[in-house]
Structure 1
Amino acid sequence: MDLGLTGRTVVVTGASSGVGLETARMLLGEGANVAACARDGDRLARALDGLPGRLHTGACDVLDDVAVREFVEQAAETFGGVDGVVNNAGRSLMARLDETEPQQWRDELDLKIFSVLHVVRAALPWLRRSDAGAVVNVNAILARQPEARLAATSAARAALLNLTKTLAGELAADAVRVNSVCLGLIDTGQWRRRHEASGSTSDFEAWSAGLAADRGIPLGRLGSADEVAYAIVALLSPRASYITGSALDVGGGIARYA
């Protein structure tokens, strides 16, 4: 199926690894122009080296409003506009309520909220001119199903889900769609590092299967970055033109909320 992304320009943040990298790769495969950024420009360049397609890259801290505007303007100048945005930059703070300091809460909220607001505001003039403007915010099932061991991250994710709904309502008049993709446990470098640090004698496949069982994932495994990327790319497609304000779970059935 032709997703109608050929020649369209998409900004992808946090593109040096995991979901962001796979999303950039998939978009290029669909014929889209990709403007990819990450804090570590060298790592980003290595990750994307050799990928075919029209690609613009740059180091950019999504919490730096000026740097974000400069990057988005460069992307629009390079490709003649911006049609889509994937807000993927983020991290998780593994800490319970009594293990977190006030500044850690501020940092989590800053990252989850302003990493999105800065990019959307910078891209909005071009998104409004597009005939298929779309924003996808990469979030987590934690937004609706908090975990005690991720107290601050769960709360910040919930705030981002709320913000995404607000953006969807506000930008609907401009025909700019805004949706969420909410992740469960995804096999990225983060989980592989935790496996290495665990001291387990099991290989990653066995260790991650045990993790999936412990977390109650019905499909019995972790997801993959490309499975998430597919959901993101599908929501960016003009074929999804009647979908906005939605949250699509990619979590192997782990969600237990109504």
Structure 2
Amino acid sequence: MDLGYGKRRVLVVGGSDGIGRAAASLMIGEGADVVIASRSEKNLLAAAEMIHAERATVPGQLVCDVTRPEAGAVLAETVDARWGALDVLVAAVGGSVRADFSALDDQAWLDNYTFNILSTVRAIRSLLPYLEKGSNPAIITMSGAGAKMPYQHQVVSNVHKAGLIGLTKTLALELADRNIRINTIAPGRTLTSLWTNRADMLAAERGSTREEVLQEFAKDIPLGRFAQPDEIATMIVWLCSPLASYVTGQTISVDGGIARGLL
């Protein structure tokens, strides 16, 4: 199936690892011109090498820390210089904090808000003029299963991931008359470095192995296993394609069934 990515201009913020890197690789495989952005130059270079090995193409690379106020200007300058317009923005940024509510001070809340919400707001706001010039423009934000089924001891990220759903739904209405679509992905437990690092830490504390820890956490998932990043990225690629031209303002769960709610 031709997804219509030939000559499509794509920026993946958080594209050096995990779901973002997987989405960038798949889009390049479909014929898109992709730039990946990350605050870590080392991670960007490693991701570019991996994508080159998979697709025989090296993505553009941009060092940009989206938790910094100047990030929006950096993103806009890069898009302006490379293309002058933008077709797809994937904001694959954010993360969770595992702690009891009483252990979280104001700074912990503010830091996670900046990471999960404000970074995405900055990227979208700065790139809207270029998306308006794009062809079938689409935006993806990255929520999580915890927004629909809050995880215990992850209150700060549960709240902010739910906030991204509100942001996406609101912007879908505001941007519709400019023909810009926006949707959010709510992944479940996925084998990214965040989870493997966490599993290694828990394994060291318990005297067990990474595999044993991951198997324990997989018991809550109806499909009985963690997702691979490509399984989440495949949905991103479809949602950003012209084939999904009538889908906007939606939260798509790709979580193996872990979120049990009806909505």
Q: Normalization by structure 1: what TM-score?
A: 0.94
Measure how far apart 1:15 and its partner are. 1.3
- In structure 1, the partner of 2:4 is 4
Between 1:68-77 and 1:148-157, the stretch displaced more is 68-77
Residue-by-residue CA offset, 1:140-179 (whole Å, 9 max, x unaligned): 0111211221011101111111011011110011010000
Paired amino acid for 1:115: S
Can you give the 5+ residue segments of structure 1 that lack an aligned partner in the other structure?
Answer: none
Alignment partner of 1:99 is 2:110: no
CA separation in 1, counterparts of 2:58 and 2:192? Answer: 25
Measure how far apart 1:86 and its partner are. 0.4
- In structure 2, the partner of 1:28 is 28
Q: Normalization by structure 2: what TM-score?
A: 0.92
- In structure 2, the partner of 1:212 is 218
Residue-by-residue CA offset, 1:6-48 (whole Å, 9 max, x unaligned): 1111110111111111111111111101111101112211221
SS for the counterpart of 1:61 is coil
Measure how far apart 1:85 and its partner are. 0.4
Equivalent residues of 1:14, 1:88 under 8 A apart: yes
Measure how far apart 1:245 and its partner are. 0.5
Equivalent residues of 1:183, 1:250 under 8 A apart: yes
Between 1:76-85 and 1:26-35, the stretch displaced more is 76-85
User: Which of the numbers 82, 107, 114 marks the counterpart of 1:110?
Assistant: 114
Equivalent residues of 2:64, 2:74 under 8 A apart: no
Paired amino acid for 2:28: L
User: Which of the numbers 158, 165, 172 marks the counterpart of 1:168?
Assistant: 172
Equivalent residues of 1:31, 1:53 under 8 A apart: no
Paired amino acid for 1:68: G
SS for the counterpart of 2:45 is helix
CA separation in 1, counterparts of 2:28 and 2:207? Answer: 38
CA separation in 1, counterparts of 2:69 and 2:242? Answer: 28
Can you give the 5+ residue segments of structure 2 that lack an aligned partner in the other structure?
Answer: none
Measure how far apart 1:67 and its partner are. 3.0
RMSD of aligned Cα (Å) = 1.6
Measure how far apart 1:72 and its partner are. 3.0
- In structure 2, the partner of 1:255 is 259
Measure how far apart 1:101 and its partner are. 0.8
SS for the counterpart of 2:35 is strand
Percent identical pairs in the alignment equals 34
Paired amino acid for 1:195: A
User: Which of the numbers 146, 158, 161 marks the counterpart of 2:162?
Assistant: 158
CA separation in 1, counterparts of 2:123 and 2:75? Answer: 9
Paired amino acid for 1:28: I
Q: How many residue pairs align between the two structures?
A: 256
CA separation in 1, counterparts of 2:132 and 2:15? Answer: 24
CA separation in 1, counterparts of 2:69 and 2:213? Answer: 40
- In structure 1, the partner of 2:199 is 195
CA separation in 2, counterparts of 1:2 and 1:225? Answer: 22
Equivalent residues of 1:33, 1:54 under 8 A apart: no
